[in-house]
Copies of this chain bind each other. A is one copy, B any other.
């Protein structure tokens, strides 16, 4: 066996962590980087600089790869479908990636009776107002594509706010939903092979601030039946969406039970704890999944594992400036990126 080459479109922090995991398995990683100073460029076996949105660039890039994957899901679906038509192995596939579109996801999941909030796919203030008339204010409006880390999500109190947001999102598909009574947010990270084998990591509670995941706790402090239901739903969703490699499924816990929030068809920050906290990290299992190799055990290495996400800059606890203090914490690990 010669070492396989995995191509990653995009060269951000997730590509870097995936590359770090790839070294143990002697998997070569080639990245398509928008900029040669992108985080993964230092770690990768080979770097191509090019526009990840440019079909010619990604076609050229894919030629030397045994399998192609992504640093993030903000990619041009038509370009990915072209790669697939060329015969490239691309995971997540265009079919899976399409579920990152919240409108597509809500429509498909609701048709299959998966638990999603009540919703409408709209493109005007009038439609938002009609939805609110049926379900009550406030409502939540989300851009169907392109939102992440809380961007593209708007809580609207009244028709005035609906008109404001609609005017900034002209031409965009908007998913409108009731403002849910969210008791907790949980996530399940699933690894899956093309042959169908799938395995879930223990359910994680995620704590969000301003739409950013600042903390995760494993196992989640929720009812065991609810946790089991979340695991089963996440595996069903991995199968339904044809996910290969890692898929993270985020759920809201409401008084009426679980509802699906969103999906990320790639290693996700709700799975960063797995680097030291699970027998096999999400990054290694992403590689094993997309290479159709046996998946590694997803059990925890400690009774409980917490992840804290600290944004850098002037923050007084920024480990980049206070690394030594951070390393004083026994059993803690620091990942700077």
The interface bits of chain A over 282-325 (1 if a CB of B lies within 8 angstroms of the residue's CB, else 0) are 00000010000110110001100000000000000000110110
Stretch at the interface among A87-95, A179-187, A327-335: A327-335
Cα of A275 to Cα of B279 in the assembled complex, Å:
11
Q: A24-B20, A296-B327, A323-B293 are in contact. Are A45 and B45 (CB under 8 A)?
A: no
Interface pair B294/A25, CB less than 8 Å apart:
no
Chain B residues near A280 (CB-CB < 8 A): 333
Instruction: Give A260 Cβ to nearest chain B Cβ, in Å.
Output: 30
Evaluate whether A42 and B42 lie within 8 angstroms (CB atoms) in the complex, with A1-B323, A327-B288 already known: no
Cβ-closest chain B residue relative to A292? B324
Prevailing SS type, chain A contact patch: loop
- Chain B residues in 8 Å Cβ range of A23: 16, 20, 42-43
Q: How many residues of A contact B (CB 8 A)?
A: 34
Measured CB to CB, the closest approach of chain B to A274, in angstroms, equals 12
- List 8 extra interface pairs beyond A1-B320, A20-B20, CB under 8 A: A1-B321, A20-B24, A24-B275, A24-B334, A26-B336, A42-B45, A296-B333, A301-B301
> Chain B contacts of A123 at CB under 8 A?
none
Q: Which residues of A contact B (CB under 8 A)?
A: 1, 16, 20, 23-26, 42-43, 45, 275-276, 279-280, 288, 293-294, 296-297, 301-302, 320-321, 323-324, 327-328, 330-331, 333-337
A321 proximity list for chain B (CB < 8 A): 1
- A336 surroundings in chain B (CB, below 8 A): 24-26
This chain: copies in complex: 2
Q: Are A24 and B302 within 8 A (Cβ)?
A: no
Q: Cβ of A335: which chain B residues have Cβ within 8 Å of it?
A: 24-25
Contacts of A320 in B (CB 8 A): 1, 26
Shortest CB–CB separation between residue A34 and chain B, in angstroms?
20
**How far does the alpha carbon of A300 sit from the alpha carbon of B331 in the complex, in Å?**
11
| Contact between B279 and A279, CB atoms less than 8 A apart | no
Task: Verify A331–B279 contact, CB threshold 8 A.
Answer: yes
Contacting residues, chain B, for A296 (C-beta < 8 A): 327, 333
Kindly list chain B residues whose C-beta atoms are within 8 Å of the C-beta of A275: 24
A318 closest partner in B (C-beta): B1
Contact B297 A330 (CB under 8 A): yes
Q: Whose C-beta in chain B lies nearest to the C-beta of A324?
A: B293
Shortest CB–CB separation between residue A6 and chain B, in angstroms?
Answer: 14
Q: How far is the CB of A139 from chain B (nearest CB, A)?
A: 42
In the complex, the answer to whether A294 meets B324 with C-beta atoms within 8 Å is yes
Contact residue among B42, B301, B323 (Cβ-Cβ distance under 8 Å from A25): B323
Q: How far apart are A126's CB and chain B's nearest CB, in angstroms?
A: 50
Chain B residues with CB under 8 A of A288: 327
